[in-house]
């Protein structure tokens, strides 16, 4: 007994010494440390140094593995508390570091950081494998899982157990040692390829810039011209005008420029990213990724990657996802045919003897919109100031979620770039702090394209309530000093969409961190639903104000916008669906000798893809799918979620007080936003709606004929 006591004391002393040494190491690198300061602690973005990134990530991984070792070596039988809860707590230092790593990766990447990222990618892959393939750890997880099958735990605990068990199972925890090693080596190869793919796309976005002279500005708005001049000057080309190789610059240029030769050049630059036959070409990388993904899932007994990936999604199988896409596709391309016919007729009628090409689509669609609906997108844009849109989003959050957004005093919260603005989020009725909302609106070198939402800290009540730190990120071209930033209607919809993700973060009411991550083909639903509030009368009348006069839209203009709601839906649906179908078909194909360029061309031909428009994301720059695995065989999820969106929107439209009906809003928050992943998505939707969603509302929304059953 005395010997046992002495041994326990010795172990305790050793653990204390180790913890002190770990704490000393952690204290030397700010990236590893707990967030400090106001609002429950905030990231120390002002102390972010490139030189700290690699040592912080390496030490963070080491500390996380020590946490896992402590779980594995626990002599007590596995329980929810000492295994599942312990796993939820593990690796807090690494989680802190990954916030900074994510910012450097997405918002302010530099060549120096990209080098570090490529060095860390295989190391991080090895780290993940050491956890998911830890036999002793999985044995403890499985013990708790089997117990839960006999004697179910409380609902949220049961959900955590099932999600963690499934994650380990899907990542090779049941494989023998030889197959585990192969699985881990494949993951390491893939991590390198993902990093290289993303870097190649970013290279082409940064290096294919079109510089215009003063006589090449026909059709472009004053705001665009001033912004293009400022960008060119910043790049050492004073007196010229820069069209950058990003959607936010390309899209308005193709819509309004009267110079067809330059429209073609800008279009080709954008849609050839990653496909220029040089050192930054991604076609071979995609082929390698597809081969390795198939090899990896074959170890688990799956025929293809799509089958493996979709087993824990709402769609369940690739066949179900394809069935939905193929139900919508014929109507989408039929509408494109009608849209092209209208554009071709207009071009010929105005004496322009051309055949509509992809670089003409946006330009002539805008002309048709004016002719058919007397609606000028540029006129609408005068009412879409970014600052007022932000106010509108906050207004909707107040009405539906009872959140209040208040700008924090300048310099009171560290930011990673001077353009980032921060708001405090509180509950209107209690003034309780929910967290902070960061907004990074402008494009810059080193920032990935598109728009997205992310969290620096998610809500849990696991070890006391945590305040949420959420952010929205866009790529608007920064206006010249003193100029208002005016955005397109589509960009305004995107703002509401991404803000929907942020509201999902702030509304979350879950205990365990694992429950904060949603099911991929469901999490887009909440954000797509929030888009609908942009066109509500309260938003239009109070926030879509003319940037010069301050007056709201006239009833006539509002009527035109609503009448034109289904205009150009052929283009929007087809360019998206082509990418979603390509994603799925690439992962169902035999990748043994795949030629990506040939496969893309032949697949589009088999789909009868209209030649007048491209996929939204061509394969060589499809970051969603090939810079990681977040959306791989999951890009269909936007359409899957939109079936739910259209159905839920009809429920709001038919409510006594429409989109601001209090009873509907309460159900929206309670069943669709607050639970995050604490319950099955189908169950959550049924609780909200009382019935399953059908495809009919989606087809009505797009003005498409409803397919016969």
Tokens of 236: 């050492």
Dihedral sign for Cα 494, 641, 98, 502, please: positive
For residues 99 and 33, the answer to whether their CB atoms sit within 8 Å is no
Cα angle 213-219-225, degrees, rounded to a multiple of 5 = 50
CB burial class (10 A; 0-12, 13-18, 19+) of residue 510? Answer: buried
Q: What are the φ/ψ torsions at residue 547 (nearest 5 degrees)?
A: -70, -20
CA atoms within 13 A on the CB side of 523: 25
- In this prediction, residue 5 carries a pLDDT of 44
How long is the chain?
709
Residues paired with residue 19 on neighbouring β-strands, in sequence order: none
Residues 393-418 have a mean pLDDT of: 97
SS3 readout for 222-284: HHHHHHHHHHHHHCCCCCCEEECCCHHHHHHHHHHCCCHHHHHHHHHHHHCCCCCCCCCCCHH
Longest dimension (CA), the chain: 101
- Residues 149-169 have pLDDT tens digits of 999 999 999 999 999 999 999
Tell me: pLDDT of 211 over 60: yes
For residues 406 and 604, the answer to whether their CB atoms sit within 8 Å is no
- Residues 682-695 have pLDDT tens digits of 999 999 999 999 99
Position 517 confidence tier, pLDDT thresholds 50, 70, 90:
confident
Q: Is 487 helix (H, G, I), strand (E, B) or coil?
A: coil
Which residue bears the tokens 């996802």? Answer: 321
- Residues 65-114 have pLDDT tens digits of 999 999 999 999 999 999 999 999 999 999 999 999 999 999 999 999 99
Tell me: pLDDT of 496 over 70: yes
Residues 203-224 have a mean pLDDT of: 95
- In this prediction, residue 521 carries a pLDDT of 83
Q: Mean pLDDT lowest for which of 9-23, 131-145, 373-387, 450-464?
A: 9-23
- In this prediction, residue 131 carries a pLDDT of 96
- Residues 307-333 have pLDDT tens digits of 999 998 999 999 999 999 999 999 999
Position 22 confidence tier, pLDDT thresholds 50, 70, 90:
low
| pTM for the model | 0.90
Tell me: pLDDT of 7 over 50: no
The order of strands in the sheet holding 468-476 is 403-407, 421-427, 433-442, 468-476, 452-457
What does pLDDT average to over the chain?
Answer: 93
- In this prediction, residue 27 carries a pLDDT of 62
> Which of these, 410, 451, 455, lies nearest to 434 by C-alpha position?
455
Q: Is 138 helix (H, G, I), strand (E, B) or coil?
A: helix
Tell me: pLDDT of 523 over 70: yes
- Fold designation for 2-202: 1.10.1370
- The residue ranking higher by pLDDT, 23 or 426, is 426
Position 707 confidence tier, pLDDT thresholds 50, 70, 90:
confident
Residues 523-532 have a mean pLDDT of: 94
DSSP state of 435: E
> Which of these, 467, 452, 484, lies nearest to 37 by C-alpha position?
467
- Residues 440-457 have pLDDT tens digits of 999 998 999 889 999 999
- Residues 256-288 have pLDDT tens digits of 999 999 999 999 999 999 999 999 999 999 999
> Who's near 51: CB < 8 A, 6+ residues apart?
none
Tell me: pLDDT of 306 over 90: yes
- Residues 109-150 have pLDDT tens digits of 999 999 999 999 999 999 999 999 999 999 999 999 999 999
Tokens of 2: 């005395």
For residues 535 and 484, the answer to whether their CB atoms sit within 8 Å is no
Range list of H helices, 425-550: 489-507, 520-530, 537-543
Tokens of 312: 């824990």
Dihedral sign for Cα 462, 467, 472, 473, please: negative
Position 237 confidence tier, pLDDT thresholds 50, 70, 90:
very high
Domain boundaries, given as residue ranges, for the chain = 2-202, 208-271
Position 518 confidence tier, pLDDT thresholds 50, 70, 90:
confident
């Amino acid at each position: 007994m005395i010997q046992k006591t002495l041994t326990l004391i010795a172990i305790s002393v050793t653990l204390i010494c180790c913890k002190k040494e770990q704490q000393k190491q952690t204290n030397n690198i700010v990236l590893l440390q707990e967030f400090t300061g106001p609002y429950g602690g905030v990231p120390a973005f002002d102390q972010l140094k490139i030189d700290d990134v690699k040592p912080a990530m390496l030490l963070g991984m080491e500390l996380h593995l020590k946490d896992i070792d402590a779980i594995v070596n626990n002599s007590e039988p596995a329980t929810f508390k000492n295994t599942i809860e312990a796993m939820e707590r593990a690796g807090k230092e690494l989680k802190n570091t990954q916030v900074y790593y994510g910012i450097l990766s997405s918002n302010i990447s530099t060549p120096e950081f990209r080098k570090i990222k490529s060095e860390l990618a295989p190391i991080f892959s090895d780290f993940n494998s050491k956890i998911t393939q830890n036999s002793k750890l999985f044995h403890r997880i499985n013990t708790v899982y089997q117990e839960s099958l006999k004697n179910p735990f409380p609902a949220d605990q049961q959900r955590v157990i099932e999600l963690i068990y499934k994650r380990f199972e899907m990542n090779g925890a049941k494989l023998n040692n030889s197959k585990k090693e192969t699985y881990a080596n494949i993951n390491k190869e893939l991590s390198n390829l993902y990093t290289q793919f993303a870097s190649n796309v970013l290279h082409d976005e940064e290096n294919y810039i079109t510089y215009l002279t003063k006589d090449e500005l026909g059709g472009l708005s004053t705001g665009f011209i001033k912004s293009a001049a400022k960008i060119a000057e910043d790049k050492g080309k004073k007196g010229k005008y820069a069209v950058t190789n990003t959607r936010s610059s390309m899209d308005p240029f193709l819509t309004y420029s009267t110079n067809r030769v330059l429209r073609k050049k800008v279009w080709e630059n954008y849609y050839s990213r990653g496909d220029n036959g040089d050192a930054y070409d991604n076609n071979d990388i995609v082929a390698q990724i597809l081969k390795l993904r198939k090899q990896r899932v074959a170890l688990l007994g799956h025929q293809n990657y799509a089958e493996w990936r979709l087993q824990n999604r709402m769609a369940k199988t690739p066949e179900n996802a394809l069935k939905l896409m193929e139900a919508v596709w014929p109507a989408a391309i039929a509408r494109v045919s009608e849209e092209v016919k209208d554009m071709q007729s207009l071009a010929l009628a105005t004496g322009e003897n051309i055949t509509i090409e992809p670089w003409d689509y946006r330009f002539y669609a805008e002309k048709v919109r004016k002719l058919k609906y007397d609606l000028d997108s540029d006129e609408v844009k005068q009412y879409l100031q970014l600052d007022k849109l932000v106010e509108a989003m906050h207004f909707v959050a107040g009405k539906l979620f009872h959140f209040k957004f208040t700008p924090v005093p300048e310099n009171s919260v560290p930011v990673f770039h001077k353009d980032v603005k921060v708001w405090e989020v509180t509950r209107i009725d209690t003034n309780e702090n929910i967290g902070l909302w960061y907004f990074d609106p402008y494009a810059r070198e080193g920032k990935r394209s598109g728009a997205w939402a992310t969290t620096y800290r998610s809500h849990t009540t696991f070890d006391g309530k945590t305040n949420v730190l959420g952010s929205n990120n866009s790529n608007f071209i920064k206006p010249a000093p003193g100029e208002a930033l005016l955005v397109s209607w589509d960009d305004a919809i995107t703002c509401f969409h991404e803000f929907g993700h942020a509201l999902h973060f702030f509304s979350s009411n879950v205990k365990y961190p694992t429950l904060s991550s949603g099911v991929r083909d469901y999490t887009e639903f909440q954000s797509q639903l929030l888009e609908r509030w942009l066109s509500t009368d309260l938003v239009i009348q109070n926030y879509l104000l003319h940037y010069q006069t301050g007056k709201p839209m006239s009833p006539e203009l509002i009527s035109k916008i609503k009448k034109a709601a289904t205009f150009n839906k052929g283009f929007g649906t087809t360019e998206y669906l082509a990418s979603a179908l390509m994603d799925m078909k690439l992962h169902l194909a035999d990748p043994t000798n795949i030629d990506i360029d040939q496969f893309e061309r032949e697949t589009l031909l088999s789909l009868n893809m209209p030649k007048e428009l491209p996929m939204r994301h061509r394969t060589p720059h499809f970051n969603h799918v090939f810079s990681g695995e977040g959306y791989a065989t999951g890009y269909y999820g936007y359409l899957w979620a939109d079936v739910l969106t259209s159905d839920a929107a009809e429920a709001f439209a038919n409510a006594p007080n429409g989109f601001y009906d209090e009873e509907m809003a309460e159900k929206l928050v309670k069943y669709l936003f607050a639970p995050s992943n604490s319950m099955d998505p189908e169950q959550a939707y049924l609780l909200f709606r009382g019935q399953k969603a059908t495809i009919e509302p989606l087809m009505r929304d797009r003005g498409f004929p409803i397919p016969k059953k």
